[in-house]
Amino acid sequence: LSTGPLTGVRVTLTAGPTREALDPVRYISNHSSGKMGYALAQAFTDAGAQVRLISGPVNLPAPAVDALVQVNSAQEMLAAALADPGDCFVGAAAVADYRPATVADQKIKKQGDAIDDMTLALVRNPDIIAQVAMSRPKPYMVGFAAETQALLSYARDKLVRKKLDLVIANDVSRPDAGFNVDTNTVTLVDQHGDKALPSQSKTSLARELVNEIAQRYQAHAKK
Ligand code: PMT
């Protein structure tokens, strides 16, 4: 039986990209590989937590979790997140902010040789983590911030605007951090201040992050 620092705590975690369909054969997405989220899922399990992993489409073996929910779109990820947000919710997924306004039933055809341009109409996707933060009882809320500039000020803005308890900020302009690489460099941002962690593999970073989250979760649960 597990005796880790998060024994019995229910963690809901999102990972990977979302895919927003344009037609039966095309979609809009991003470069998230799921590596960061899957490493966290494993580290939470190792810390004794009951992990529910909501995953976008990735090419990774399933980690040892209590439940793996596979989704494609942001709307599907939202429904899965709200169905059971857990005691602690961690948003590591790179959710598409916009989706095509309409999904064509049939493959979209070229418009003919004389027309070179095509315009795509997009609509806003729901903000999954902000909606989970409005559920009651409110879980301890951990978000990521993926930024290419002004990392810490955007991260702090997300902390307040999305009503999060902790933001893990990664500077995705660095070649050794963020999307689709094996390493990451992050700074933790919460109401007490900022804490930069050393650059390292996503596997070892996940263990460090789970320790940091466990300490904060326990202090929060005592309130
Ligand atoms: O998957 P990897 O290749 O390992 O890469 C890891 C990662 C870079 C994807 C990961 O470390 C990361 O930063 N994930 C969040 C990426 C992101 O979309 O960040 P954001 O700054 O756009 O979003 C801020 C927070 O809001 C995130 O917790 C995100 O999950 C959440 N969000 C965003 C938009 C939306 N519609 N709903 C959300 O819940």
User: Ligand 1 within 6 A of 98 CB?
Assistant: no
C-alpha 95 – ligand 1 centre gap (Å): 6
Among residues 189, 222, 211, which one has the least CA distance to residue 48? 211
Per-residue pLDDT of the chain (223 residues; tens, 9 = 90+): 567 999 999 999 999 999 999 999 999 999 999 999 999 999 999 999 999 999 999 999 999 999 999 999 999 999 999 999 999 999 999 999 999 999 999 999 988 888 889 899 999 999 999 999 999 999 999 999 999 999 999 999 999 999 999 999 999 999 999 999 999 999 999 999 999 999 999 999 999 999 999 999 999 998 7
Residue in 13, 14, 19, 129 to alter for ligand 1 test, most ligand atoms within 8 A of Cβ: 129
> Does ligand 1 lie within 6 Å of residue 34's CB atom?
yes
Active site residues: 30
- Sheet hosting strand 193-196, strand order edge to edge: 67-70, 50-55, 10-15, 88-91, 140-147, 166-171, 186-190, 193-196
Ligand 1: centre distance to CA 191 (Å): 20
By alpha-carbon position, which residue is closest to atom 36 of ligand 1? Answer: 127
What single DSSP character describes residue 33? -
pLDDT value of residue 33 = 98
CA dist 200 and 45 (Å) reads 20
Binding residues: 97, 107, 126-129, 144, 158, 162
The annotation places the binding site for CTP at 97, 107, 126-129, 144, 158, 162
* CA dihedral over 91, 94, 97, 98, signed as positive or negative: negative
The H or E element that residue 125 is part of is none
The token pair at 129 is 């983590």
In testing the pocket of ligand 1, which one of 28, 144, 162, 170 has its CB within 8 Å of the most ligand atoms?
144
DSSP 221: H
Please identify which residue in the block is written with the tokens 């941002």. 189
Of 25, 48, 29, residue with least CA distance to 210: 48
For tokens 């899922």, the residue is 41
Report the alpha-carbon distance of residue 157 to residue 39 in Å, rounded.
Answer: 26
User: Taking the domains of the chain in order of start, what are their residue ranges?
Assistant: 10-100+121-222
* Predicted pLDDT at 8: 94
**What is the distance between the alpha carbons of residues 154 and 114, in angstroms, rounded to a whole number?**
44
Tokens of 173: 């302009």
Cβ(24)–Cβ(107) under 8 Å? yes
CB 55 less than 6 A from any atom of ligand 1: no
To 10 degrees, the CA torsion angle through 69, 214, 145, 174?
-100
Classified by CATH at the fold level, domain 10-100+121-222 comes out as: Rossmann fold (3.40.50)
Nearest ligand 1 atom to the CA of 131 is 39
Is the whole-model pTM more than 0.90? yes
Q: Whose CA is nearest to atom 18 of ligand 1?
A: 94
